[in-house]
Amino acid sequence: MSRSIKKGIYTDAKLMKKVAKLKAGDKTVIKTWARSSTITPEMIGYTFGVHNGKLHISVFVTEDMVGHKLGEFSHTRKFTRHGGKMQKEIEAAAKQKEVEAAKAAKVEPAAGGSNKK
């Protein structure tokens, strides 16, 4: 447990003020840099723009998210892919299958037509 029960959960005071100002069902995005704030039941149904260091990622809060931190849903690192020779071969094979499937789709309708002489 990151905080003691005596201290309670941490939620940013400014963030809670912004949530209190909004009406229920409001679709505006609440921008925040407080990634360490814990999601409380009052936040359910609102969309937060959680900063990931570069831009704000939209996070719609649901009931399952209560107790988690806002930063858990706004990743700070972008995964591109694993590198290496094997990965390139796998991607090349997948691309080749897509090309063959596209060619087969174009050929089949023409072959099914009637032959006029």
Tell me the torsion sign for CA atoms 41, 45, 46, 47. Answer: positive
Delimit the domains of the chain by residue range.
Answer: 13-73, 79-109
Burial profile 57-73: b = 16 or more Cβ within 10 angstroms, e = fewer: bebebeeebeeebbbeb
**pLDDT tens digit string along 93-106?**
888 888 888 888 87
29 has which bridge partners? 47
The per-residue pLDDT of the chain, averaged, comes to 84
Q: Which two tokens stand for residue 88?
A: 């390139």
Per-residue model confidence as pLDDT tens for the chain (117 residues): 567 778 888 888 999 999 999 887 788 899 999 999 999 998 898 999 999 999 999 999 999 999 999 999 999 998 877 777 888 888 888 888 888 888 888 765 555 555 555
Residues in the chain: 117
C-alpha pair distances (Å), 22 with each of 17, 27, 47, 51, 78: 9, 9, 11, 20, 32
> What pTM was estimated for this model as a whole?
0.65
**CATH tag, 13-73:** 3.30.860.10
